[in-house]
Amino acid sequence: MIQAKRALLSALGEALRQVAPDADASFTPVFEAPKQAAHGDLAVTAAMQLAKPLKKNPRELATALVAALQAQAAVQQWVEAIEIAGPGFINLRLKPEAKQAIVNDVLTDGAKFGWQPLSDRKVLVEFVSANPTGPLHVGHGRQGALGDAMCNLFETQGQAVTREFYYNDAGVQIATLASSTQARLKGLKPGDADWPESAYNGDYIADIARDFADKKTVQADDRGFTASGDPDDLDSIRQFAVAYLRHEQDLDLKAFGVRFDNYYLESSLYTSGKVDAAVQKLKDAGKTFEEGGALWLRSTDYGDDKDRVMRKSEGGYTYFVPDVAYHIAKWERGFQQCVNIQGSDHHGTIARVRAGLQAAGVGIPQGWPDYVLHKMVTVMKDGEEVKISKRAGSYVTLRDLIEWTSKDAVRFFLISRKADTEFVFDVDLALKQNDENPVFYVQYAHARIHSVLAQYVDKGGDLASLAQGQVSLLVAPTELTLMTRLAEFPCMLTSAAHALAPHDVAFYLRDLASAFHSYYAAERFLVDDVELSRARMALLTAVAQVLRNGLALLGVSAPEKM
């Protein structure tokens, strides 16, 4: 179907040049999915789009376009029927052979089915970026699932992807972490009269204090440190606590199947002079002013609702200044696209960061970087909302969620909705082994296929010969539907990557699994007709491959037995 669609798209372009030679040269015809499956396989809305600028009746334009299409060799080869509907919709119904070709396409490309050729486009995705002040919470898990899947999507489009984790290893929060650990070292605990009011109360602070007192060494992906054991050595406590929690984060991320290529420290922006350099660029561009002893950015020049303080009257920079410096550094590192995945509470930073980047005059295009803001997750267990974790003290941790369910369930669930929608993670649902549980439903489709394939082999079938199967025998309605779904996979990947919408992969997998389960209920696979049986095994193998490919993009396993 992919080959047929490409040929038909070229034929559509030629037909439009014949029918509408005066159309805007930038107009690019595309195929859309019909509103209803009964209307056909491909829909064309070009007649309605071009009617107004060409001052023509859309229905008449559609009629002329259909006549031109019918003269095209590709249409004659691949199209069974063309119909005009409504004010000028054109619906194409493909011949079975157009759909059947997808089986061998999948078998040939295997794990790379749907992937685009390599390009020189560099993309950086920054996600999780949790300061090392406590365990990773469920919100960080949602970022991890979104960010990792988005990186995988970009890679399917041939792009070189860098996964980056940015965090503050200094500042007020880290000072609070150090003082909380010091208080524990001195025998204090939450509730004591001398316990600092701003201290972190989770049990993990006691764990850090105990290991510090034992003079342990901790190693994280980006740092390591050996404790001095001295409760009065606040700098050693700070460094040890940061390394300890970075190590804990690494363990959580590895259990979650998320990796990073680079860790970027906010402190390095100051020690390297990048913050001062960014501020100087803004001054040199004439985009700052002094007022009330503070330094301001004229961010209203770039669409912000008010000008923003850069340097407070007491001397320290506000938090968006290092953000501007960090993004200038991203641009200077050669990334054409940067995506920041953050909580929805960061919405207010977008306008000021983009304003600072425009004001700096370093060549960064408007609207750069991209932001994906996610809403937080509500966790339900035993019919009630879970609000705190004994270990963290104030929230449900990612580790809790994985231990209660599984990595696969957490990954699939956290990516199964658009990032900007509220999400309720139902632990009880994630444990169900029925079609109410979406990850089970998809994984069971894959396992079910492997069960059938194993039976085929037991009866003497040869899986190595499936590529020679007569796919022309696959004409049952459920088979044609299933092959149509397989052919949608490459375009879905491209669309999802472009729209920063990895949830589209989860939606697609559920649709594909549904089409398979319908096929399973409607047809017998191990039939007496040897060639028909082999053709159906080839189709099942292709479906299993695409299920596996899609699940891999989400970081979810594809079990062969369940």
Per-residue confidence band for 394, with pLDDT thresholds at 50, 70 and 90: confident
Give the neighbor-by-neighbor strand order of the sheet with 288-291. Answer: 288-291, 294-297, 308-311
CA distance 167 to 5: 46
CA-nearest of 64, 87, 74 to 16 is 64
Q: Which helix (H) or strand (E) holds 370?
A: strand 370-374
The residues that bridge with 94 in the sheet, in sequence order, are 79
Q: Residue 414 corresponds to which tokens in the numbers above?
A: 């956290």
Instruction: Write the pLDDT tens digit of every residue in 163-191.
Output: 999 999 878 899 999 999 999 999 999 99
Looking at 126-140, 223-237, 281-295, 382-396, which range is the least confident one?
A: 382-396
CATH number at 2-94: 3.30.1360.70
Residue 65: CB atoms within 10 A of its CB come to 25
Q: Which long-range contacts (CB under 8 A, 24 or more apart) does 285-290 make?
A: 285/359, 285/360, 285/361, 287/359
Sequence letter at residue 268: S
CA distance 500 to 337: 12
Q: Which helix (H) or strand (E) holds 408?
A: helix 407-414
pLDDT attached to residue 466: 93
Q: Which helix (H) or strand (E) holds 94?
A: strand 89-94
Instruction: Write the pLDDT tens digit of every residue in 2-30.
Output: 788 889 999 999 998 998 888 887 888 88
Cα–Cα distances in angstroms (integers) from residue 558 to residues 440, 442, 549, 551, 554, in the given order? 10, 9, 9, 7, 11
pLDDT attached to residue 390: 63
CA-nearest of 461, 131, 84, 417 to 263 is 131
pLDDT attached to residue 392: 66
pLDDT at 536 over 80: yes
CA-nearest of 394, 149, 205, 133 to 141 is 149
User: pLDDT higher for 55 or 501?
Assistant: 501
CA distance 321 to 267: 13
CA distance 238 to 19: 72
Instruction: Write the pLDDT tens digit of every residue in 264-306.
Output: 999 999 999 999 999 999 999 999 999 999 999 999 999 888 9
What DSSP character marks residue 392?
Answer: T
Per DSSP, which regions of 127-279 are E strands? 160-167, 217-219, 224-226, 262-265
Mutual orientation of helices 2-19 and 46-54 as an angle, nearest 10°?
A: 20
CA dihedral 82, 513, 102, 481 (to 10 degrees): -30
pLDDT attached to residue 440: 98
Domain residue extents for the chain: 2-94, 272-372, 377-431, 435-553
CA dihedral 262, 266, 267, 270 (to 10 degrees): 110
Query: Three-state SS across 268-315?
Result: HHHHCCHHHHHHHHHHHCCCEEEECCEEEECHHHHCCCCCEEEECCCC
Query: Residue 3: which residues within 8 A CB-CB, separation 6 or more?
Result: 101, 105
Instruction: Write the pLDDT tens digit of every residue in 401-434.
Output: 999 999 999 999 999 999 999 999 999 999 999 9
Q: Residue-wise over 531-552: b if at least 16 C-beta within 10 A, else e?
A: ebbbbbbbbbbbbbbbbbbbbe
Per DSSP, which regions of 344-441 are E strands? 370-374, 377-381, 384-386, 423-426
435-553 carries CATH number 1.10.730.10: yes
Per-residue confidence band for 133, with pLDDT thresholds at 50, 70 and 90: very high
CA distance 534 to 469: 6
Contact 183, 203 (CB under 8 A): no
- What's the pTM value of the predicted model, to 2 decimals? 0.91
Query: Residue 196: which residues within 8 A CB-CB, separation 6 or more?
Result: 176, 179, 180, 183
Going by DSSP bridges, is the β-strand pair 423-426/377-381 parallel, antiparallel, or unpaired? parallel
Burial status of residue 133 (CB atoms within 10 A of its CB: 0-12, 13-18, 19 or more): buried
Gyration radius from the chain CA atoms? 29
pLDDT attached to residue 229: 97
Q: Residue 322 corresponds to which tokens in the numbers above?
A: 């290092």
pLDDT attached to residue 20: 86
What integer best gives the mean pLDDT of the chain? 94
Query: Residue 482: which residues within 8 A CB-CB, separation 6 or more?
Result: 512, 515, 516, 519, 539, 543
Q: Which helix (H) or strand (E) holds 481?
A: helix 477-498
Q: What is the percent of the chain with per-residue pLDDT over 90, rounded to a whole number?
A: 83
The residues that bridge with 341 in the sheet, in sequence order, are 372
pLDDT at 35 over 80: no
pLDDT attached to residue 391: 65
- Altogether, the residues listed in the chain come to a count of 562
